[in-house]
Amino acid sequence: MTTTTSTPSATTMPGAGAVAARRGGLYAAARLPRGTAWATLAASWLVTGGLFGILDAAGASDGFNLVGTIFFGTVLFDVAIWSLALLVEGRRRALDRLVTSLVSTAFVIALLPLVSLVATVLQNGLARFDTAYFTESMRNVIGAGGGGLHAIVGTLEITGMATLISVPVGLLASIYLVEYGRGALARGITFFVDVMMGIPSIVAGLFAFALFALATGNPGIRSGFVGAVSLSVLMIPVVVRSSEEILRLVPNELREASLALGVPKWLTVLKIVLPTSIAGLVTGVMLAIARVIGETAPLLIVAGFTASMNYDLFSDRMMTLPVFVYTQYTQAAGLHAQAAVDRAWAGALTLIIIVMVLNLAGRVIARIFAPRYGR
Amino acid sequence: MSKRIEVTDLDVYYSRFLAVQNVSLTIEPRTVTAFIGPSGCGKSTLLRTLNRMHEVVPGARVEGRVLIDGDDLYAPDVDPVLVRRQVGMVFQRPNPFPTMSIRENVLAGVRLNNRRMPRADADDLVERSLASANLWNEVKDRLNLPGSSLSGGQQQRLCIARAVAVAPDVLLMDEPCSALDPISTLAIEDLIEELKQQYTIVIVTHNMQQASRVSDRTAFFNISGAGTPGTLIEYDDTATIFSRPSVQATEDYVSGKFG
């Protein structure tokens, strides 16, 4: 007696019936073994890796192309898993697998540039990521050596001042929109905030420059503060938008509970609405900072560039990290070109690390202040 | 401490929409009054006009008069914030403040108004308020845990304690038990019975057994159709409303023929 029989008479026998039941009987369907998807993915990467390896060995490409391997391997995987499933599992499951793998491919495509970028910056930036870089400016440096301390200080000061200007203005504007704003004024503010979101950063720089040049009568004005003002033109709409979304998430019941206790509206906003949403507000501000900390164009116009330390926001040119990267890269020429390029990469790495640290700090702050739900 | 509420010829509007029309009733001190009626008939709207909470909704307004011990709530020089300190409110869904502990929730009405209070007084107020909400024994060992760590019924009693802590004259309850299980409902109903000794209580409920159990007087509201204003059909002693109402619609409603 074989156990794989499927004739109707066999099902009447207890032994055969039990086997059929264990295998799913009427509802049994062919399935690819567990782990097939992962094995197929690995195989696809190996295949494309092999192809790129041959290209590299033949001298057709400049080094092994890892990004290409992963990208084309993932695309190959989509086709392979779909065909396999179509052969074994049938149309419905094949479609399911295809869509699942396409979604995963989209994820990989989104992640590849990021990982590739971080890897490249790390690779090139570590060459000059040393003590001298964090303790010296570029004053009187020709050729190798020097550092980006003046740019780090400038970036921190200008971004800090921009945050100091933007957060109160942006937060108060969003509180107005959510808690008080009605009618034409609120609609107008929303509209202009949307318009401001789309302002090219160079225009923000020119605006700040024109404003201060006219106000001071000095057509050659350069200072860190003007840079901070131009950055806050870019930052305010981001803060307004993100805080507005967060404040709208605060349940109306909490506002009503507070008002019904005889608490005036402004205290309700200050002591109920803001504390409840503080985590989201902090995250929004962090995102806004990350948005402006890498701005180059407006700072190139209004903060200028310098090789020396300048701690004073209100006078003279001030270096910032993005502008530092730009000047080092454009001035890389001659005998010491590599030294300048290395400094540029180290500047880029520093900027990424600053943004990352800010984001981590934001998360910690958000977790500390988050409302305590549940047990 | 409790006060008499007199409502005279009250119309309540949401922008142009007339939600409640021509309501007149008098609520005696130290009684429990139940508002019953089908959904959308304006019970909650009317309740919210009694402490000017309805005007939190943009466009909402009122015509007519609401007197509490002779003072008109809608006189031009009245500050709604002061009204709400005298007329407390408990909402349908328990809504403790998520950023605050149990203790802070009870003290919210005091603290949020920037009033300073010595620690001993505050402790005393917390204990008294929680005790009058029948919650003290359950939470006295964990006053510093978040208010949202309590069960639904406990959260609702915490909200009642929070409302009682500001020492109001009147307590409004908008379907306080509709999100609760029968045991928690019983606890709240017992609580209403006790609070009646000190406060004038108005309760909106969809549960007619509840109305007959807890209230002294019952007001029945009805609408003639969607989009028409709600009106007061009958207002009488609870026993009368549930045994021999004078209006046919009331009898149909309380006997379960509609609604």
Query: pLDDT by residue (tens digit) across A160-198?
Result: 999 999 999 999 999 999 999 888 999 999 999 999 999
Round the CA-based radius of gyration of chain B to a whole number and report it. 18
Measured between CB atoms, which of A255, A262, A372 is closest to B85?
A: A262
Q: B81, B113 in Cβ contact below 8 A?
A: no
Using a CB–CB cutoff of 8 Å, tell me whether B207 touches chain A. Answer: no
Place of tokens 């302002």: A199
Averaged pLDDT score across all residues of chain A: 87
Residue B108 lies in a domain: no
Of B93, B98, B109, the CB nearest to A261: B109
Contact assignment for B166 to A259 by CB distance below 8 Å: no
Cα→Cα distances A111→A59, A103, A117, A294, B256, Å: 29, 13, 10, 20, 62
Instruction: Considering only the beta carbons, identify the residue of B51, B86, B98 that sits closest to A372.
Output: B98
What is the reported pTM?
Answer: 0.81
Q: What is the mean pLDDT of chain B?
A: 90
What value does the mean pLDDT take over residues A275-284? 90
Compute CA A331 distance to the chain's CA centroid, rounded to the nearest angstrom: 29
Q: Are strands B200-204 and B32-36 parallel, antiparallel or unpaired?
A: parallel
Q: Does B113 touch chain A (CB under 8 A)?
A: yes
Average pLDDT over residues A130-139: 90
Enumerate residues 6+ apart whose C-beta is below 8 A from B139.
B102, B130, B150, B154, B158
What phi and psi values does residue A255 have, to the nearest 5 degrees? -60, -45
Measured between alpha carbons, how far is B89 from A67 in angstroms, rounded to an integer?
Answer: 62
pLDDT higher than threshold 90 for residue A289:
yes
Question: Between B86, B91, B112, which is nearest A256 by CB?
Answer: B91
> What is the model's pLDDT at position A373?
55
B36 - beta bridge partners?
A: B220
In a domain, B178, yes or no: yes
- Give the burial class of B19: count Cβ atoms within 10 A of its Cβ; 0-12 exposed, 13-18 middle, 19 or more buried: buried
Inform me whether the pLDDT recorded for A250 exceeds 50: yes
Facing A375 at nearest CB: one of B51, B108, B149:
B149
Residue A45: helix, strand or coil by DSSP? Answer: helix
Q: Is A58 within 8 Å of chain B by CB? A: no
Cite the residue boundaries of each domain of chain A with CATH code 1.10.3720.10.
135-369
Is pLDDT of B40 > 90?
no
The answer as to whether B165 is a domain residue is no
Distance from the B79 Cα atom to the nearest Cα atom in chain A, whole angstroms: 10
Average pLDDT over residues A41-64: 88
- Do the domain assignments include residue B201? yes
Cβ distance of B97 and A182 shorter than 8 Å: no
- Chain A residues touching B108 at Cβ < 8 A: 258, 261, 263
Tell me, what's the pLDDT at A220? 86
In a domain, B196, yes or no: yes
Q: Which two structure tokens, joined as six digits, stand for A180?
A: 């008080």
pLDDT mean over B67-83:
91
Match 């039990």 to its residue by tokens. Answer: A18
Examine residue B219 and state whether it is found in any structural domain, yes or no: yes
- pLDDT tens digit sequence for B200-217: 999 999 888 899 999 999
- CATH number of the domain at B203, please: 3.40.50.300
Q: Averaged over A202-224, what is the pLDDT?
A: 92
Q: What is the pLDDT of residues B135-181, one digit of tens each?
A: 999 999 999 998 888 988 899 999 999 998 988 889 999 999 888 88
Q: And the tokens for B166?
A: 């500001």
Average pLDDT, integer, range A266-289: 91
Whether residue B115 lies inside any domain: the answer is no
| Interface residue B78 vs chain A (CB under 8 A) | no
Interface test with B, best of A263, A281, A373, A375 (most B CBs within 10 A): A263
Quote the number of domains for chain B.
Answer: 1
B8 contact A CB<8A = no
State the nearest Cα–Cα gap between A185 and chain B, in angstroms: 16
Strand order, beta sheet including B60-68: B71-72, B60-68, B5-14, B17-27, B230-237, B217-222, B32-36, B200-204, B170-174, B87-90
Residues of B in contact with A272 (CB under 8 A): 97, 99, 112
Would an 8 Å CB–CB cutoff place A253 in contact with chain B?
Answer: yes
Under an 8 A CB cutoff, do B81 and A262 touch?
A: yes
> Does residue B156 lie in a domain region?
no
Measure Cα distances from A324 to A110, A224, A294, A348, B88 in Å: 28, 14, 11, 9, 62
Q: With an 8 Å Cβ cutoff, is B60 touching chain A?
A: no
CA distance B40 to B230: 8
Residue numbers of A between 128 and 167 with CB closer than 8 Å to B? none
Please compute the mean of the pLDDT values over residues A200-206 and round it to a whole number.
Answer: 94
The CATH fold of domain A135-369: MetI-like fold (1.10.3720)
In this prediction, the answer to ipTM > 0.85 reads yes
Measured in angstroms, the CA of B52 and the nearest CA of chain A are apart by 9
What is the pLDDT, as a whole number, of residue A4? 46
**In a 10 Å sphere around its CB, with 0-12 CB exposed, 13-18 middle and 19+ buried, how is residue B96 labelled?**
buried
Chain B residues touching residue A366 (CB < 8 angstroms): none
Angle (CA) B10-B14-B18 rounded to 5° is 55
Q: What is the pLDDT of residue A336?
A: 86
Any CB–CB contact under 8 A between A334 and chain B? no
To which residue do tokens 């003002």 refer?
A229
Cα distance between residue B175 and residue B206, in whole Å: 7
User: Which of B113, B159, B162 is facing A267, going by the closest CB pair?
Assistant: B113
Range of the domain at B61: 5-97+170-254
Does A353 contact B at CB distance below 8 Å? no
DSSP A127: G
